[in-house]
């Protein structure tokens, strides 16, 4: 973030009271204000240290690999049983 730029803009997110309380408690335990904790998360997200898609993409890649392995196993079973496999 540009240190010369005035931090006067806001981001808003709606959460349940339970989530807000848990977030505030975690921030307090770390010695941070709610604003400091949120800003740290935003900066980590911008810097690529925290991601959203990365978790989804990693899971998708694992599932695709599992599907490939299952297809190979199934293909081997069909060949072993003498069933012809269409390409």
Q: What is the pLDDT along the chain (87 residues), one digit of tens a residue?
A: 566 788 889 999 999 999 999 999 999 999 999 999 999 999 998 998 877 766 777 888 889 999 999 988 888 777 676 666 555
Return the CATH number of the domain spanning residue range 10-50: 1.10.1220
Distance of CA 34 to the CA centre of its chain: 22
**Rounded to whole angstroms, how far apart are CA atoms 87 and 79?**
13
* Stated pTM of the model: 0.53
**Per-domain residue ranges of the chain:** 10-50, 52-87
């Amino acid at each position: 973030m540009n240190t010369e730029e005035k931090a006067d803009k806001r981001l808003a997110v709606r959460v349940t009271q339970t989530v807000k309380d848990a977030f505030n408690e975690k921030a307090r335990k770390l010695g941070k204000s709610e604003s400091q904790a949120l800003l740290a998360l935003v900066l980590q997200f911008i810097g690529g240290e925290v991601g959203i898609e990365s978790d989804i993409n990693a899971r998708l890649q694992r599932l695709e690999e599992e599907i490939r392995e299952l297809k190979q196993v199934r293909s081997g079973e069909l060949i072993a049983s003498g069933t012809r496999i269409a390409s």
